[in-house]
Every structure is written in structure tokens, then in C-alpha cells.
Amino acid sequence: MTQAQRRVGVVLERASRVLGEEPFYHEFVEGLERVLNPAGVSVLVKIVTDREAENQAYERWAERRRIDGVILVDLTPDDDRVPLVGRLGLPAVVLGAPSTASGLPTVWTDDAGYAREAVRLLAGRGHRTIGHLSGPLSFLHTQLRRAGALEEAAALGVTVVQADGDYSYQSAQVAAAELAARECTAIICDNDLMALAALDTLKERDIAVPGDVSVVAWDDSALCQLAVPALSAMSHDVVRIGEIAAGAMLDAMAGEPPAVYQAPPAVFVARDSTG
């Protein structure tokens, strides 16, 4: 008798249109599957549009015993999903800061530190007013990036101007136009899709990149190299992060005690968008 296929669930709270355009989770799931599939574990991805629907998905999965573990992403402060998966008895791994995990295993990326580094690098290139085009401020990793950027700016005597998006191209067009109007000479974007939107928005306004404004992306997907001009980025090995999360998930499913799994360091990759 063959053993039933085990499954790991990932619920993404995004509009399907936005998710289809965003490369981060495609690469992350690729990394998950590289480790989980050879171990006889499949990945089930569900897209929802709000937190209530996400929590209901976990409850249904647990009730029907459809999955053997879950990976939690985009955590908020005091996130209600952390105690929920505990009550449901679902092994879980958090992709985010250990402070959000409340005893769950965590795959951690130093969002605040990398935001500080991005500001420091741009300030070193002479930029005095730097825009931060962020994702939703409800997400803890957004808050950490913003705090890191503001702390480094204060230490260096430069200004960070804030504008919020939702990771979509359309939201970034509005935010990039706002940052350009406020005379930012550099813009740090919280994902690659928003960085592309910033490039296009600046071009439509006859603002030269990098002559007038430099643009920095965050994840460094293939979109960055294909952009014109090619996008500089705080480059993250997203596939490797997925692989690490998969290993943490296998450990959790095996009953191993919770641990913090460090993601590989991000590095700044300079391309044409920063001169």
C-alpha cells in the first residue's frame, strides 16, 4: 500500500491579477518544490483577497485533513494566524521576523538592515532626498524596512520621503509620481514590479533614469535585468529562501523544536538605473 501524498499549504492574500504579475512568490514556490517534492510532499497554493478568507482556508484544511503543514507569509504585528494554526494543530513555518512567530520556526531576512544599506549606498552616491515606495504598511516587513530606512537617513542627515503601494504596477505608478513631485533623486521600491512601474512613470514625465532619478528594486528577479534601463537591486536569493523554508517545514512536520533559519544575505547589485 502506497503512502498518501503529504501536502504543505501556502495561502496568499493578494488579488489574483497582482499575484500573477509579481515574481517573488513564483520563485519562492519554486524553491519550496525543489526540496519538498523529492521528499514526497506537494505544495498547495491558494489565493484569497482578505484575511478572513485566509483563516477560513486553514480551518477547512485542518478539518478535512487536507494538508500536513502551512507556511505563513506577510505577517502583521500580533498576527492572528499564529495562534490559529496552533489551535488547529497545524505545523507551521513563518516567513518573517522572529518577533512575529511566537514560538514557531522562522525563516528570517533582515529587512531593516537591508533598507539601511540601500539608503547608505544611495547617500554615498550623493542623494539627499530618497523616496521609499513601500508595500502595505500593515505588513511587519514593510514596517521594518521603513524604520530601517528612516533610522539610517537620520544618522546620515538625509531625507526619506514615504509613499505606499500594494505591490501592484498600478499602485506604484501613483506612488512614483508622488515621489517625483516631491523632488526625490532616488527611489527604493519594495518589489521589482513596482520598480518597473517607477521606471515607466518617470519616463512618461521626461525624467531621466539615472540622470535625474535613480531607482532601486528589492528582490532582483529576471525583470530587473530585462528592464530598460536595467534595474539595480537589493538582490535576494528568493529560490534559496524557498528551499530553506521547505527544510524548516520538513523539520516542523517531523516534530523538531522551533528554530530560526537565516536567509542568505542580500547584496546590492548595481546596474544602469543607478548610474
Decide if pLDDT at 1 tops 50.
no
Q: Can you give the pLDDT at residue 106?
A: 96
pLDDT band, residue 100 (cuts 50/70/90)? confident
| Per-state percent for the chain, helix, strand, coil, to nearest 5 | 45, 20, 30
Alpha carbons 141 and 128: distance in angstroms, whole number:
24
Alpha carbons 270 and 275: distance in angstroms, whole number:
8
- The DSSP code sequence of 32-86 is HHHHHGGGTEEEEEEEESSHHHHHHHHHHHHHHT--SEEEE-S--TT-THHHHHH
Residue 94 in contact with residue 104, Cβ under 8 Å?
yes
Write down the mean pLDDT value for the chain: 94
- Provide the 10 A C-beta neighbour count for residue 161: 17
Distances (CA, A) of 33 to 11, 46, 131: 15, 15, 36
pLDDT tens for 78-98 read 899 999 999 999 999 999 988
The closest of 240, 239, 261 to 251, measured between CA atoms, is: 261
The percentage of residues in the chain with a pLDDT greater than 90, rounded to a whole number, is 89
Decide if pLDDT at 101 tops 90.
no
Sketch out the chain's domains with CATH numbers.
Answer: 6-109+237-264 (3.40.50.2300), 111-236+270-274 (3.40.50.2300)
pLDDT band, residue 4 (cuts 50/70/90)? low
pLDDT tens for 250-268 read 999 999 999 999 999 999 9
pLDDT tens for 111-163 read 999 999 999 999 999 999 999 999 999 999 999 999 999 999 999 999 999 99
